[in-house]
Amino acid sequence: MGFIFALPVLVFIWQVVGAAHTFRPMPGQRGASFLAQLISLAFVGLFYRRDEIELVPWLTVVGVVGLIASLVLFEWARRAVSGRLFSYIFSSDTPEFICMDGPFASIRNPFYASYLLAMLSTAVMWPSVFRFGLVLAMVVYFTGAAMYEERKFARSAVAAEYANYKARTGRFAPRLFGRE
């Protein structure tokens, strides 16, 4: 039973450590900005428990599967960008290339998708209005971050290539039909 309560924490730690080894500050920046650190704050908020959590078996199974899928997506994306300069969320850099390897072939923001999936899975395992509200707030946060990135690409040297890439990929999930 303790493993079920530890799993979201372990996933969060894995993603934080993995992100620290994957993303780099741009020249002149000291590291992750306050906006980037909001991700950690949201994860910590998900772990807040005022009362004892009563696990519902089928929700627990759904949550565990989602957490494992989140880790798989995170690692797949991390390995796809290995050795490339990927900046922190909300960095002011100008993109010089488009990664289309691994999950990036179908999803423009697999890291954001993996964080959202981990958060949603935790909220499903430990349902509360507060947790689902936090997940909704993070959907808004990551959508804003993705739109910020899209504007950076639109004014970069790879803007035309990115427009084509954007037309065939989904923001947080593979595109199944037409436009977003």
- Residues 79-126: tens digit of each pLDDT: 999 888 777 787 888 888 899 999 999 999 999 999 999 999 999 999
pLDDT, mean over the chain: 88
Evaluate whether 132 touches 70 at the Cβ level (below 8 Å): no
> pTM to 2 decimals?
0.89
Q: What CA–CA distance (Å, rounded) separates 25 from 37?
A: 13
Q: For 122, phi and psi rounded to 5 degrees?
A: -65, -45
Q: How far apart are CA 164 and CA 37, in angstroms?
A: 31
